[in-house]
């Protein structure tokens, strides 16, 4: 959620953010009005409550006095007490009604606030999904025709290598499921180990978080808004399967106040990711590019808001370092305002070249969520200036399935074998190629 003070002081900034996202800007004015009502209701309740407490303070001692006073004086004290009591009874009714009025006003403002997306970074390119800005293209795309190689896609290669079993995935779990088998399974473990080692070297604490979370964690990270239809929910237990380790890693410090000197805190989580892929019927139906479940290694940072933009740059740098180590050609894009998702103020995707499709496809993504998630999850920092929300950021180190797609296709050789990039060899028993089973 955004800061109500920002909203009051500069509502136009918030409206502009909403417009650039292609979202409703009128919530700003409705929220402003609701906030006004909320504050008035709070004041009214506070005043009445104060009155009630003052009155209560006189009743207690009087009741004590009643017991000790001489019989002759008792009627007078009793009468005074009765008078106070009847006033208190009437007042209690007004307090109750003011309280429910305040609660209603609070709830209204909170629900409007919860529906408001994060304040966008005004430097993000404006527009929809296709209006991203290319930051940089990196690496060399192979000229397979020149090499005399007829490009095989990852499905074909995966089958040749005995690395991916899509048919049985569908048999057991349905469409968009798969098994990683043999070298495919080993490849996942190698990628994970390589990623965790790289992150560990950069000061990240390795984490294996729960993939099943309570509603508060899902809400707090902003996935129950427009992204809700893509989240798996376990009705019987009111729990959610996470779509990314970002969720449990963000909620890890919820309701905590972190010492400023302990920031930035960096965690790298390895977890399964579950996505319903609602609304993507017919899209990427072949292979394991778009699936309902995959494993991922995700970086997550908590830092001071003023350091967030720089931290975002560092996360992108580590993502690039990982891609470079896999010797994959890719480009970095600055995601446009309309495609950011509710939580992100700014987002960079890395898209790897996919030879069989002859285009760049998203393999990693890093978002600066500024204080948006931290406000919802009540994650704050304490420094000389007092207590204030932290900023949270996330970035993919390796999304297994898509990285395997890129790896197999880009490093394929004429005979259907796949060259293993040097950085991965130590994690694959030193092997330099993955070879067809035949």
Partner RNA sequence: GGAGGCGUCGCCUAGUCCGGUCGAUGGCGCCCGCCUGCUAAGCGGGUUGGGGUCUCAAAGCCCCUCGCGGGUUCAAAUCCCGCCGCCUCCGCCA
Of 6, 50, 111, 280, the one binding RNA (CB under 7 A) is 50
CB of 247 to RNA, least distance (A): 18
C-alpha neighbours within 13 Å on the C-beta side of residue 356: 18
Please say if 275 is a catalytic residue.
yes
Helices assigned H by DSSP within 115-209: 144-147, 154-161, 166-173, 183-201
Please say if 290 is a catalytic residue.
yes
Catalytic one among 21, 275, 314, 375?
275
* Cis preceding linkage at 142, omega within 30: no
Per CB under 7 A, 227 contacts RNA: no
Which residues neighbour 134 within 8 Å (Cβ) at sequence distance 6 or greater?
A: 331, 332, 333, 334
Catalytic one among 365, 375, 380, 409?
365
Per CB under 7 A, 171 contacts RNA: no
Of 10, 26, 29, 47, the one binding RNA (CB under 7 A) is 47
Please say if 361 is a catalytic residue.
no
Please say if 402 is a catalytic residue.
yes
Of 59, 65, 133, 149, the one binding RNA (CB under 7 A) is 59
Of residues 364-403, those binding RNA (CB under 7 A): 380, 382, 387
Q: Which is nearer to RNA, 89 or 143 (CB)?
A: 89
Please say if 327 is a catalytic residue.
no
The DSSP line for 58-94 is HHHHHHHHHHHS-GGGHHHHHHHHHHHHHHHHHHHHH
Cα distance between residue 405 and residue 291, in whole Å: 12
| C-alpha distances out from residue 437 to 160, 162, 182, Å | 6, 6, 10
Q: Which is nearer to RNA, 114 or 138 (CB)?
A: 114
Per CB under 7 A, 57 contacts RNA: yes
Per CB under 7 A, 10 contacts RNA: no
C-alpha neighbours within 13 Å on the C-beta side of residue 382: 4
Per CB under 7 A, 88 contacts RNA: yes
Q: Which is nearer to RNA, 102 or 296 (CB)?
A: 102
Of residues 241-260, those binding RNA (CB under 7 A): 257
Q: In what order do the strands lie in the sheet with 265-274?
A: 133-138, 330-334, 346-354, 359-368, 391-399, 293-303, 265-274, 205-207
Per CB under 7 A, 151 contacts RNA: no
Neighbours of 350 (CB within 10 A): 24
Residues lying near RNA in the complex (CB under 7 A) are found at 4, 39, 42-43, 45-47, 49-50, 52-53, 55-57, 59-60, 63, 85, 88-89, 91-92, 95, 257, 380, 382, 387
- Residues annotated as catalytic are 275, 290, 362, 365, 402
């Amino acid at each position: 959620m955004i800061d109500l003070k920002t909203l009051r002081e500069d509502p136009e900034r918030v409206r502009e953010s909403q417009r650039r996202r292609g979202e409703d800007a009128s919530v700003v004015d409705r929220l402003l009005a609701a906030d006004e009502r909320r504050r008035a209701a709070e004041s009214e309740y506070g005043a009445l409550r104060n009155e009630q407490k003052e009155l209560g303070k006189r009743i207690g001692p009087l009741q004590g006095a009643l017991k000790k006073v001489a019989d002759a004086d008792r009627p007078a004290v009793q009468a005074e007490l009765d008078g106070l009591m009847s006033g208190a009874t009437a007042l209690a009714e007004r307090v109750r009604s003011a309280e429910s009025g305040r609660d209603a006003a609070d709830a209204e403002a909170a629900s409007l606030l919860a529906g408001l997306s994060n304040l966008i970074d005004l430097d993000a390119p404006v527009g929809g999904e296709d209006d991203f800005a290319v930051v940089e293209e990196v690496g060399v795309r192979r000229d397979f025709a020149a090499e005399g190689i007829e490009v095989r896609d990852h499905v074909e290669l995966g089958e040749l290598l005995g690395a991916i079993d899509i048919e049985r995935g569908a048999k057991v779990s349905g469409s968009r499921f798969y098994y990683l088998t043999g070298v495919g399974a080993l490849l996942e473990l190698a990628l994970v180990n390589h990623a965790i080692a790289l992150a560990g070297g950069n000061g990240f604490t390795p984490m294996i978080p729960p993939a099943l979370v309570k509603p508060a964690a899902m809400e707090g990270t902003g996935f129950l808004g427009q992204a809700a239809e893509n989240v798996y929910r376990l009705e019987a237990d009111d729990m959610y399967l996470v779509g990314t380790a970002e969720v449990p890693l963000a909620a890890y410090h919820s309701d905590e106040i972190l010492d400023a000197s302990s920031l930035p805190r960096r965690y790298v989580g390895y977890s399964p990711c579950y996505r319903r892929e609602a609304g993507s019927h017919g899209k990427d139906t072949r292979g394991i590019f778009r699936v309902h479940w995959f494993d991922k290694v995700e970086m997550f940072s908590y830092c001071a808001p003023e350091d967030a933009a720089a931290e975002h740059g560092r996360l992108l740098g580590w993502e690039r370092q990982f891609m470079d180590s896999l010797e994959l050609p890719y480009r970095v894009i600055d995601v446009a305002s309309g495609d950011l998702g509710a939580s992100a103020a700014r987002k960079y995707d890395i898209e790897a070249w996919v030879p069989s499709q002859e285009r760049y496809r998203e393999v990693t993504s890093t978002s600066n969520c500024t204080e948006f998630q931290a406000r919802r999850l009540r994650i704050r920092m304490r420094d000389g200036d007092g207590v204030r929300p932290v900023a949270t950021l996330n970035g993919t180190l390796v999304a297994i399935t898509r990285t395997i797609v890129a790896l197999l296709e880009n490093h394929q050789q004429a005979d259907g074998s796949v060259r293993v990039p040097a950085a991965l060899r130590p994690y694959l028993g030193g092997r330099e190629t993955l070879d067809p089973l035949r």
